[in-house]
Structure 1
Amino acid sequence: MKSVVHQLFISICICTGLSFPAQSPYIDSLQRAVNNPGLNEQSKPVLLNRLAEAYRIDRNYAAAEKKAKQSAHIALQNKDYAEAAKSYTLLTVIKANNQQLSTLKQVSDSALALAQQSKNPVAMAYGYYAQAFLFKTLEDSEKRIKFCQMGLKELEKSPDPSIASKLYYQLYAAHSDWNNIAQVNNYARKATENALQTKDYNLLSNSYAALSVAHEYRYNESGEKKELDSVLFYLQKAEDTYIKHPKQVAKYTHAITCVNIASVYLKYFPADDKTESKAIQYAKSAADLLKNVPNTQEVTASSLGILSEFASRKGDKALAESYLLQAYDLMKTGEHPYYYTLINIVQALSGFYKQQGDFKKALAFQEEVTEYSNKNFKQKQALNAQKLEIQFETEKKNNEVKILKEREASRKFQSYLYACIAAASLLGLIFMFRSYHFKLRLSMEREKQLQLENHESEMQIRLEKEEKARLKAEQQLLETQQQQLQKEAMANVLQLEHKNRILHHIKDKLADDNSLNMQKIVKEEIVLDNDFEDAKLRIQQIHPEFFNLINEKAKKNLTLLDMKLCAYLYLKMDTRQISQLMHIEPKSVRMSRYRIKQKLGLDKDEDLNTFLHKLGS
């Protein structure tokens, strides 16, 4: 029975919760604080969570669940998702302790979801702790360790020694199942180091107990006495914590410490009066501590089993039987008996009566062993069925989440693809628009260029026309000037010719008659000059083509004297004026007119003056 009882003690130590002190004065003080009318509504969830944890440690699961739900409700009303996550984490632990597996998965998932919504690293650590506790219940050590490591990773952003100690404790317990001595010692030590940074002495007491178990593993491996001394040293540290802070360490926690100390003395120390006395004292202390504490039968039964072992060592069979029967009766009073402990006690009773030769009772208790084993098997089957159902739901949910993630990834990829297509289309439209705009602009530029070129061409043509017109005008002006000069030259020639004739006439007269009246000649000449000046002005006004036309008409047979006579006739001078200007006889003027008509090819009836005026106009 000794080894069986010892294994039970270790199991109790590992499975105990990490929590706040749970004695009645502490619970009463928390309840008064919650009921305080002046308490801010936002501050209530923290106190309610502490009160729920205190009830949980006191094994009052109904009250614990009620307070945790109340805390979650208020926290959610105030959108305090971090505290709500802690409330649901506590509900996860409560339901796991009370074997309420049907809703365990839902509650633990809610804890993680609320933690994610809070975006708070410490809240996330609590959410992962809830998941670790779920998979602890489902006996899935790999996932239990995975979520603990994830929680510790979150605490790197915002350290919190309280939840860190709890996560390390879970890692310690998981590696205990694998007998990984190095990791058991490592995580038990880290749990203790973090617990020392808090004022949670109940948590510290449990951490010391974990260290004692770690050293017991090392002692069993190495056999070194110093490891056994360390086992007792850390159990004594747990006891000292209770002695220093009796109101802040739960009786249940200290009772387990007492049972473990008694178990160490029973298993590893020789049967002498000193060690036996200490062990019996610790075993009785555990039983006394748990009187009237609900749901603690397995711990009290374990202490009675230890007392029975020591009674058997002394040879007090009646006392040994009495302790075993007390443990047997105690375990049968539980609403949900812990069959593992009950089977061990019934098996011990069967063995005891067999040794006493009372085979009838031995057989009866052995039959009960079979009965309780079957009930235990059925209970395990039911629990396993619930666990399998939870695992199935978990896998189903994980698959659904995976499918949703794949769909989300596919949707994101499609969205990304559509976005790329939209972007490409937009870029294409922009390119087409810019291309169209560029082509339109280029077309407009070309049109402007063409218009400019056309305008330049028109301007060039206009300039050319204007240049031609200017050149033509200049040419006409030059021709006019030339003609005018020709006219002036002709008029001047006529005048010079006239002056020469006058001079010759004077000369001839001077040669013939010395009594020449010069004054008369000069006077006459002045009159003639005046007439000639007027004639000269009128000759210059004759049509520019006049002389060319009559010359062409006469086929260039006209002499200078003929053209001079034509000019005088065109100017409507009579025969007398012409004879005076030309200093010829009127008869000579008439003869010249006749010759000119012939040269011009005029009929006898045609009037030379009329012809010349028509030609001049």
Structure 2
Amino acid sequence: MTYLRYKLLIGACFIGLSFAARAQTTVSDSLRSVIDNVALNEKEKPALLNQLAEANRINKNYDTAIANAKQCIALSLKHKNFTEAVKAYTLLANIKATTQQFASLKQTCDTALTMAQQANDPIAMAYAYYSRVWLYKSLGDAENVVKYSQLGLKELEKKADPFIASKIYYRLYVVNSDWNNESKVNFYARKATENALQAKDYNLLSNCYTALSVAHEYNYNKSKTKTELDSTLFYLNRSEMLYRQYPGQVADNTYAIACINIADAYLKYFPATDKNARDLAIRYAGSARSVLKNAGNSQEIIASSLGILSEYARRDGNSLQQENYLQEAYRVMKTEQPPYYYTMINVVQALSDFYEKKGDYQQGLSFQKEVTEYTRKNFNQQQALNAQKLEIQYETEKKNSEMQVLKEQEKSRRLQNYLYGYIALASLLGLLFMFRSYHFKLRYSLQREKQLQLENQESELQVKLEKEEQARLRAEQQLLETQQQQLKLEVMANTLQLEHKNRMLHNIKDKLTEGDPINMQRILKEEMMLDNDFEHATLQIQHVHPDFFHLLNDKAKKKLTLLDLKLCAYLYLKMDTRQISQLMHIEAKSVRMSRYRIKQKLGLEKEEDLNIFLQQLGT
């Protein structure tokens, strides 16, 4: 009977421990309502759909989980979110490995790896490698399980993700548990737990605590120290307690497994006389059975709890209760079609043994025939599965061979490219050598041309300097001419003024000689006013318009006499006809005639005013 209980427990444990998720049915409903919300951005849905698919997977709602994953893939590819697509494909690989859909498992894993390469994300690559872990686990290839687990962990060194890291470490724990490698079982169980704590995934953490309990059980079996047995129970209790501490975040299956493992520990390591251990074991086995009473796809776990209860009934000598538990386990296993043959065989074998010991040989023989029938069916199923595994293995090896051939071809092509590269390099060096002399000649020609250009530029600069020097000389000459004109003006102005003074003195002299009375005060006053006007106008001619007489001669159609220039100067000085006639000692009529003659020489029209013309010329 112990053998039956142990086999049922191990079968359930290995199935249960592979279920790591984030939510239970209530959480699934919450996620579904969030996803269906029309206000939710479509780009945010893939991550939520992955969580929903995982929640349905751990509760063995595989069809729903697959539908969620496919919806996630469609949305992820639509928005080029390849990382979430890889996670969905990895989840599908997990389901296919668990449900033994080996025919399409490899294609799913290959797709996950292709998507991960497109994503160019270490986390996506870690998930893709984890999907291959499931492939090689299904094929029973533990070495490749370790290889791809290590590749996944190496990717996570670039970018951390404690959730997938915990799952990978858990797979390594399982492999080393099969190998009975005690040190690595302890190491990987602890690493899986550390990462699950960081991820705050309490369903995954519950499984990792169970893994730690198994590690301490290994230690206990080796050392037989009570502290190791206490640690085994400690971590099992922590695994079970998470269900109550975080309602809705630990799956019923996970909780039931923890309860069964606790009951099994009391059954295995405590004496039959320990009533407290017996009561605890029965209580935990009953809890596992109760929590999964109405759950689907949980027949193996329920059968395990019934196996433990039947063992305690046997110890108590209660054969009727033992029979009832075994019959119930049988009925539970029959509800699964097809049943998990390994567990079913153990249940039927236990019933056969029970009835044989009871003396009911007919019933014993009947159940023994069922054992034979289920063994045959299990054998056929295993044969079919092995055929699928061999086909996948063949395809995998074929693809690996093709990849190896492609790598060899790539290597050969690379060597060929190197050879072509060396030939091209040698040709290039030859061309460089051939063109070296040409380049030297060309450079010499360019330098010669540059030198000639410099010489031309120097000549042009010299010519430019000479032109600038000539321009400077012309400017100096013009300045001298201007100064000469100014001196001429000053001389003329002074001459006019002196002439006027002389005439005035002669007039005074004549009047004194003739004895005419002279009002000297009036003459001096008029002379001073005249001198002021004359000096002001002279200065204006000299400073404001030094080229006055030069311009006047240029305007004249006929040459102006000195007397004409003198009259123009008086007019420019704004003297009236009376003043001019007095200064020039001529009659006013002669002044008007002179004005008319000057207008003709200047080519002015009758209506044009000579005074205005001279003022404009001066300005």
Same-fold status (TM-score > 0.5): yes
State how 1:259-274 maps to structure 2 within 5 Å: 259-271=260-272, 272-274=274-276
Q: What TM-score do you get using the length of structure 1 for normalisation?
A: 0.70
Aligned to 1:65: 66
Q: Distance in 2 between matches of 1:59 and 1:20?
A: 11
Matched residues in 2 for 1:235 and 1:100: separation? 32
Hey, what does 1:199 align to over in structure 2? 200
CA distance, structure 2, for counterparts of residue 398 and residue 171 of structure 1: 23
Matched ranges for 1:138-153 at <5 A:
138-153=139-154
Gaps of 5+ in 1: 446-617
Tell me the secondary structure at the aligned position of residue 197 of structure 1: helix
> Letter of the aligned partner of 1:349 in structure 2?
L
* Structure 2 residue corresponding to 1:326, chosen from 325, 328, 332: 328
Offset, 1:441: 9.4
1:186-222 deviations in Å (ceiling 9; x for gaps) = 1001111111112210011000011111111222222
Alignment match, 1:19: 20
Does the Cα contact within 8 Å between 2:341 and 2:374 map onto a contact in 1? yes
**How do 1:455-466 residues align onto structure 2 when only pairs under 5 Å count?**
none
Q: How many residues get paired?
A: 445
Confirm or deny: 8 A CA contact 2:20 2:207 kept in the other structure: no
**Alignment map for 1:32-71 (pairs within 5 Å):** 32-71=33-72
Give the CA deviation at 1:18.
Answer: 4.7
Q: TM-score scaled by structure 2?
A: 0.69
Q: Which of 279, 284, 289 is equivalent to 2:281?
A: 279
> How far, CA to CA, are the matches of 2:31 and 2:336 in structure 1?
29
Superposed CA offset, 1:306-328 (max 9, x none): 11111111111111111101111
Superposed displacement of residue 347, structure 1: 0.9
Q: CA deviation at 1:345?
A: 0.7
- Distance, in Å, in 2 between the alignment partners of 1:223 and 1:366 is 38
Which residue of the partner structure matches residue 94 of structure 2?
93
Report how far residue 444 of structure 1 moved.
14
Secondary structure of the residue that 1:55 maps to in structure 2?
helix
Q: Tell me the residue number matched to 2:362.
A: 360
Distance 1:195 1:12 in 2: 22
Question: The residue matched to 1:196 in structure 2 has which SS?
Answer: helix
Cα distance, 1:428–1:336 mapped onto 2, change above 3 Å: farther
Whether the 8 Å contact between 2:8 and 2:307 is mirrored in structure 1 is no
Residue by residue, what CA displacement relative to the aligned partner does 1:431-468 show, whole Å, maximum 9, x if unpaired?
Answer: 233356669999999xxxxxxxxxxxxxxxxxxxxxxx
1:420 counterpart residue number: 422
Contact 1:81/1:118 (CA < 8 Å) preserved in 2? Answer: yes
**Structure 2 Cα separation of the partners of residues 350 and 109 of structure 1:** 46
- Report the residue type matching 1:353 in the other structure: Y
Are 1:234 and 2:235 an aligned pair? yes
Task: Determine the C-alpha separation between the residues in 2 that align with 1:270 and 1:148.
Answer: 40
Deviations 1:199-255 (A, max 9, x none): 210011000011111111222222222221111111000111111012100001001
Cα displacement string for residues 533-553 of structure 1 (whole angstroms, at most 9, x for unaligned residues):
xxxxxxxxxxxxxxxxxxxxx
CA–CA distance in structure 2, aligned partners of residues 110 and 243 of structure 1 = 39
Q: 1:409 to 1:309 in 2, by over 3 A?
A: same
Structure 2 distance, partners of 1:354, 1:88, is 50
**Structure 1 equivalent of residue 582 of structure 2:** none
Q: What is the one-letter code of the residue matched to 1:240?
A: M
Q: Of 273, 276, 294, which residue of structure 1 is paired with 2:296?
A: 294
CA distance in 2, matches of 1:398, 1:336: 35
Note if contact 2:256-2:289 (Cα within 8 Å) is conserved in structure 1.
yes
Is the contact between residue 212 and residue 234 of structure 1 (CA under 8 Å) also seen in structure 2?
yes
Match of residue 403, structure 2, among 401, 404, 412: 401
Q: Distance in 1 between matches of 2:133 and 2:25?
A: 30
Q: Which residue of 2 aligns with 1:348?
A: 350
Q: Which has the larger radius of gyration?
A: 1
SS where residue 199 of structure 2 aligns?
A: coil
Q: Check if 1:2 corresponds to 2:37.
A: no
How far apart are the structure 1 equivalents of 2:124 and 2:233? Answer: 36
Of all paired residues, the percent bearing the same amino acid is: 58
1:132 aligns with 2:130: no
What amino acid does structure 2 have at the position aligned with 1:169?
Answer: Y
> What do you get for the CA RMSD once the two structures are aligned?
2.0
Give the SS at the match of 2:263.
Answer: helix
